Amino acid sequence: MDAANHPAIGCAFASESAAIAALRSATDSGAVAQWRIGATDRERVARIAEAIGSAATLDPADPLAGIAGLASGAHAATGVNRGAVAGGIIGAVGGLLAGLSPLGAIVPVDASDRAVACALLFFAIGVAVGGVLGGAFGPRPSTHAGFRLIDAMEAGEIAAVAVVASDRLEALREALVNAGASEITIVEAPRV
């Protein structure tokens, strides 16, 4: 199954036995090919992963890392940084031009310093606005999408994430709810 074309589902379990039963059932039914398991207690995760024949590769700090359509925290931050740099450059140029025109009088400094003062003011505004827009229009951070799973693992629960065929997603979600899963998180496949 091509992970880039299918949604991902994540959930948390308070009980090891409930996690093993539910995840094994989903795998045996063919709904999921491979689960990624995680928790803050590495020994507990290893036991569960071994019991269901899965991988204990889920990072408790970023459980949805690597899911198609989401960016790692570091990659998502580059959107903010690029937006801030672009905004700062545009702001500085715009401020310089405004400072050389009569609009520069909005900054209460000597006329000889207006271009520099406006360039600095507009640079600061450009950095702030560009950073916000870069974050808003940049890639969605996986840590934001997976915050419920992160909180569950910090509370001592076991988290599991898998990529699922779109036509099996709803049935799997219902089966997980019935099995006692909490914090069910679905990340829709990116539109291609």
Q: Quick one: average pLDDT of 122-151?
A: 82
Residue 184, amino acid = I
Q: Which residue has the tokens 């990340």?
A: 187
pLDDT of 67 over the 50 cut: yes
Burial 135-150 (b: 16+ CB within 10 A, else e): beebeebbbebbebbb
DSSP track, 146-190: THHHHHHHHTT-EEEEEEB-GGGHHHHHHHHHHTT-EEEEEEPPP
- Asked whether the predicted pLDDT for residue 140 surpasses 80, the reply is no
Q: What is the pLDDT of residues 81-117, one digit of tens each?
A: 999 999 999 999 999 999 999 888 888 899 889 999 9
pTM: 0.64
Helix (H) or strand (E) holding 36: strand 36-38
pLDDT digit string (tens) for 7-51? Answer: 888 889 988 888 888 888 888 888 888 888 888 888 888 888 888
